[in-house]
Structure 1
């Protein structure tokens, strides 16, 4: 059982599973731990197809995250970002390249980037 009592939730518009798989492909010691799907219950409110992904729980370097398919109402912005402690320039270059693929080129400044899902690193 993890001693970490804080879990980061990343709001998504239908890309939760894709984002979780993307992130675990970049970070070592990472995995998807649970996928929760929408059911028929509440469909009149949430409007999602039963069986589609609601939440993906995953770990990046053993830190817990949740990706939530919450809809288009909320977008990421630069007011929240993640920092990665790197041992050397090669590691910095690795994350810069991997996380920057498909990201917003206009937001690459001052050693920060926005990945293809809009998350700032």
Structure 2
């Protein structure tokens, strides 16, 4: 377990969790996932309308709770990665502006070019 910022774990290389989080984020923003959520909600409503045993209604409700919790974790991870990418870009822009004021291009220009492509890396 680590308390590091998710975007800073492992340097510029993405770990398995980052790949899984990205694929999950892509799936959860798809029409297929929306359809599955509608189906789950329909099952819960149907379970209440059919007056199925309480155990089945609890299972349906707990499934919705689990999906909600996973989506919350995924949203937070995505938010943190985007926040880190924005901060890197701002830092690179500030450094490039300082170099520009001094009149000589330097490593900040290269850092700025790298930061512009940071979404591909995080």
Length-normalised TM-score, structure 2: 0.24
- Computing the radius of gyration over CA atoms, which structure comes out larger, 1 or 2? 2
Q: Which has the higher contact order (CA 8 A, sep 6+)?
A: 2
Higher helix share: 2
